[in-house]
Structure 1
């Protein structure tokens, strides 16, 4: 398995989920970057950017990797659609560091222009303390602007975080079932039985559904039942992929020697049904 670099800390969760899935597909096919480029038509440098979270892969590249890896592209394209929304939102909202750098550059330009300004027409040279006062005023204005920008960006990020979670849950419902609403949550039961050497809980017989936080439906309930059977508590068997379910998945993946990314895919299903 490849030694992957850690993904950027500020990467949108939906983009992170897509990149992790693409990395696992490349590793599963035992493909080097050079072979991957030759088989998909996208350059090696492009794939390095895509798989390290520095650039969002185009839809065609995702579909090409799925075909090379023998994977049904439908689920990957759903993940790509969600990731594209997260990537676009990240581009629209500049980071605090970028805002700080822009404001600092403006202050430096202001100070440089003040120092290089020609003497007044009457020949009187301004006293040094006058220029120092103007620099101090500019610096104070920059500091105030930075504080305001930081406060606004923090408020925007908090708002976007809640909006992103709601949007991801809504979009994911189309492929994994609707999220339950108050008073209408479906009832799931665990009817554990072993058939042909595999465990089943009576809610779904899938072997490769991609599950992650925000999804809901019988596939999630099936995974919750099998997690409980394996000794990892996912909380209630409610068919909703929440934090407790994700933690139980990570614990199972660690025991099975899989990357503990908290995403249920074909390898994790294999460990659950084993």
Structure 2
């Protein structure tokens, strides 16, 4: 299972739930970032941001991951719509400024005159409080004006930040290709699509993709032979994931399950005996 960085505490709960569900699907399918890029058309760097919680994945990326892993896309799409409405709401914080207290400077006043009977020195001094004519009235007599101005500035800054986040999110939804492939990276070409045309020819099952070849294929292989095997595995009642012509983790698991069910050597390789069992 992949190790992920802890999600930010400022992330909205709906967005957090979406990211955690996408992480679970990736780990369950034993997919690497390279596999995700090859199967979904979104670059590995983009998936690092989506699964790291720093960028909301486009709806098409969520649907592609569900299709690759064989998951039901309806709950994921519903969760994505909720997360899209609330994305970025937890990142804005308002601050309340407190008025700065003003200090008063005391100056001694010398009283010159006859010494009172109780005085012990010829000159007695009493403190006299002086206030700054520029700062004391604003902070002391009118503190509410200072608080209102500070609150207004903070509210304006928060509104500008929210508008910026909304513009970024709308730009990401409208142009998923620009988000999926930054200028420094090249988006992977989408995998070719195959169509299963299951038929019985000469007592042998065929999907009509590789013209009946039984060449040996192993994990990591790609092409029509892999797509043919995926169609026949699906006909046998074992899901290999998508029919994409890529011998990935899901197809490997399906091959081993089929070999175990047919009493063959469970090595995950499609050789002559496995092909013969698939074609029945």
TM-score range, shorter chain: 0.3 to 0.5
Which is richer in helix?
1
Whose radius of gyration is greater, 1 or 2? 2
**Higher share of residues assigned strand:** 2
| Bigger relative contact order, structure 1 or 2 (CA pairs below 8 A, ≥6 apart) | 2
Normalised to the residue count of structure 2, the TM-score between the two structures is 0.35
TM-score between both structures, scaled by the size of structure 1: 0.36
